[in-house]
Chain A
Amino acid sequence: MATNIAKLKSTKGAPPAAEAAPDVIAEDTRDASEPTVALQVRVPKSVFEGFSEQAGREFGFSHGAKKKFFLKIWEEYKAQNM
């Protein structure tokens, strides 16, 4: 009968190597599943038109462009100030 040395071995296996491990912070997509709420503001018409035009240029003149543009600005603001 072969000697059983299993009891001397780690039961956990090897931990993931740093280089091979996924970057779970960069790849975090869970925020996308957050519930959304309406953000309504009243601004001068010229501001609205300028904002809409820039949003369209950056994200296409389609539904959701202003939202994407706002979120982009918000992320940039957070990166610089928070």
Chain B
Amino acid sequence: MTYIIGMVSQKGGVGKSTLARMMAREFVTGGLTTKIADLDTQQQTCTHWAGRRAEGGVTPELQVQSFATVKTALAEAPRFDALILDGKPNASDQTAEIAAAADLVVIPTGQTVDDLHPGVVLAHALRKKGVSPEKIAFAMFKTTGSERENAAARQYLTEAGYLVLDGEVGVSTAYGSASDAGKAITETSFRTLNERASKLAQSVIDKMAELQERQVA
């Protein structure tokens, strides 16, 4: 069985690729063969990042490949324990295809209404396409240190009817520097930052396990 996670968003730059790379790193470190399918053939954010990772000799080695269509990406799935579909920004038919194929759909979002609103609208649109709300989860990205703002953002998403994953990725130069060096956000030079990001990764894994248990039951 292959675990398939889809990273989608209505806006660009919210954290899809960052999340995809972190999850790939955590899966591989945990012993799962993993591939990131980079479906944004124009930006190729993950593909370029993988190049920097390889040049920098960062381990573990992660497999990233560009795909023009979800269908061709899914053809790779049986060869891996986990396939991470990193979609284009902007809602499109591709977004719906990713959501339909994925066991878990993650929508990264910032904590301002500018980010929250389009994320919720996208989640609603996916539901209209028949995607179960149970497999849609929001991940908090680029959060600030304000607990009140964070709580309000989580409340907004919960009121909209969606799960918000535990943990969050705050704004930090170290995360950007790690990305520049081909590292995931659990591979920065700062243990605290790595642990915070790791909490989000664990929440993704817990949610996937929960969904799988429900399928089995």
Chain A residues packing against B (C-beta within 8 Å) = 10-16, 18, 21-26, 28, 30-31, 82
Contacts and interface: CB of A to CB of B under 8 A. Distances in A.
Given A21-B124, A23-B125, 14 more contacts: A12-B153, A13-B113, A18-B124, A18-B128, A18-B160, A21-B121, A21-B125, A23-B128, A24-B121, A24-B122, A25-B126, A25-B129, A28-B93, A82-B71
| 9 pairs of A and B residues whose beta carbons are closest in the complex | A15-B160, A24-B91, A21-B124, A12-B156, A18-B124, A82-B71, A25-B125, A12-B152, A25-B91
Given A18-B127, A25-B92, A31-B92, A11 B148 contact: yes
Contacts of B96: 25
Interface of B: 10, 69-71, 90-93, 95-96, 113, 116-118, 120-122, 124-129, 148-149, 152-153, 155-157, 159-161
Contacts of B152: 10-12
B148 A16 contact: no
A26 B93 CA distance: 8
Contacts of A30: 90, 92
A23 B91 CA distance: 9
Chain B facing A: main interface SS: helix
A60 to B, nearest CB: 26
A15 B117 contact: yes
Contacts of A22: 121, 125
Contacts of B148: 11
Contacts of B126: 25
Nearest to B97: A82
B91 A15 contact: no
Nearest to B99: A25
